[in-house]
Structure 1
Amino acid sequence: MPTVLRLDGLRVRIYVDDHRPAHVHVIAADGEAVFVLNCPDGPPELRERHGVSLQMVNRIQKELAKHLSVLCPKWREIHGDY
Structure 2
Amino acid sequence: MKAFMVAAAILTLVAMPAYAQMGGKRHQSDDKKTDAQKPKVDEKAYKAALERIPDPKEKYDPWGVARPADPAKKPKQNP
Structure with bigger gyration radius:
2
- Which one has a larger percent helix, Structure 1 or Structure 2? 2
TM-score by length of 1: 0.22
- Which one has a larger percent strand, Structure 1 or Structure 2? 1
TM-score by length of 2: 0.22
